[in-house]
């Protein structure tokens, strides 16, 4: 079972939030707490991240099966919101197990293969000498020396267990499965439920040419952009992101 945290009343409609690559449920704590006034919000750690199990695979079919197990345990159906890699996992869940979802929100990702690797960040994290790290700022300094920008230094070190001298990320599996993470499986299914594809106006992850493959799999898809936000739109514009979720989840369809 995936590690998870719940916020809000058990009687409220359920919303599952799925983080992206190198993240964890804790990255979404502030937004989850704010949304918990109206929803039973669940944040989880995907496999090979945070406190969830380490495995040798990281295919989207596996991630979707993990999410299905969690939803069945907590009670279906749920609204599901996934960002980046978590968005692909949420899309795969919706396609494979539409009975478990009410509404789907996909944050700044499309069901397509991407050409940019994330291996440079795995190499940077592997390059940190954890034995010399006594606080997160030590690791951030080393990541900076390895060419990682400040915002990502802070993001990555949220997954650092300083006392245990280890990353809460299975870097070996994530490296081995990077091609699968960047791609998206061919699926001969579709999700006919409500879906919102929410992207950052300053991001190029969801482009005009992606709308056709999105509509093929999610015929009820709606599209929206958050101004002055990039790929990490929930971190760049958290209030606007929250407002977009509330509007979509509460609208009559």
pLDDT in tens, 29-68: 999 999 999 999 999 999 999 999 999 999 999 999 999 9
Pairwise CA distance, residues 179 & 57, whole Å: 12
Domain ranges of the chain: 4-114+183-250, 119-170
Pairwise CA distance, residues 246 & 23, whole Å: 23
- State the pLDDT at residue 116: 85
- State the pLDDT at residue 175: 97
- State the pLDDT at residue 117: 86
**pLDDT beneath 70: ranges in the chain:** none
Pairwise CA distance, residues 75 & 91, whole Å: 19
Pairwise CA distance, residues 130 & 160, whole Å: 9
Indicate which residues carry an active-site annotation. Answer: 84, 172, 231
- The DSSP bridge pattern shows strands 101-107 and 78-83 to be parallel
Residue 238 CA from chain centroid, whole number: 15
- The DSSP bridge pattern shows strands 221-226 and 160-161 to be unpaired
Q: Is the dihedral of CA 180, 224, 29, 253 positive or negative?
A: negative
Helix (H, G, I), strand (E, B) or coil at 11: coil
Q: For domain 4-114+183-250, is the CATH number 3.40.50.1820?
A: yes
Cβ neighbors of 252 (< 8 A, separation 6 or more) are none
Identify the CA nearest to 170 among candidates 73, 53, 252.
Answer: 53
CB 15 within 8 A of CB 35: yes
CB 201 within 8 A of CB 225: yes
CA distances from 132 to 135, 136, 139, 141, 149 (A): 9, 11, 9, 11, 21
Q: Tokens standing for 16?
A: 């599952």
């Amino acid at each position: 079972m995936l590690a998870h945290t719940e916020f809000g009343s058990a009687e409220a409609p359920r919303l599952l939030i799925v983080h992206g690559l190198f993240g964890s449920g804790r990255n979404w704590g502030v937004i989850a707490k704010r949304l918990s006034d109206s929803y039973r919000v669940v944040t989880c750690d995907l496999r090979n991240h945070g406190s969830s199990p380490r495995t040798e695979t990281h295919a989207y079919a596996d991630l979707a099966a993990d999410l299905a197990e969690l939803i069945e345990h907590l009670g279906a159906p749920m609204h599901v919101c996934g960002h980046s890699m978590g968005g692909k996992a949420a899309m795969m869940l919706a396609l494979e197990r539409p009975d478990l979802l009410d509404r789907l929100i996909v944050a700044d990702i499309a069901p397509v293969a991407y050409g940019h690797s994330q291996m440079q960040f795995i190499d940077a994290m592997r390059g940190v000498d954890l034995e010399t790290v006594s606080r997160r700022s030590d690791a951030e300094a080393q990541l900076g020396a390895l060419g990682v920008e400040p915002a990502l230094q802070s993001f990555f070190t949220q997954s650092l267990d300083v006392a245990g001298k280890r990353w809460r990320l299975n870097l070996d599996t994530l490296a081995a499965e990077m091609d699968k993470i960047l791609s998206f499986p061919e699926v001969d299914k579709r999700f006919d439920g409500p879906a919102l594809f929410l992207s950052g106006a300053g991001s190029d992850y969801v482009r005009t040419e992606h709308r056709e493959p999105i509509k093929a799999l999610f015929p009820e898809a709606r599209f929206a952009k958050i101004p002055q936000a990039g790929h990490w739109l929930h971190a760049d514009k958290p209030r606007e992101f929250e407002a977009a979720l509330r509007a979509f989840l509460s609208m009559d369809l």
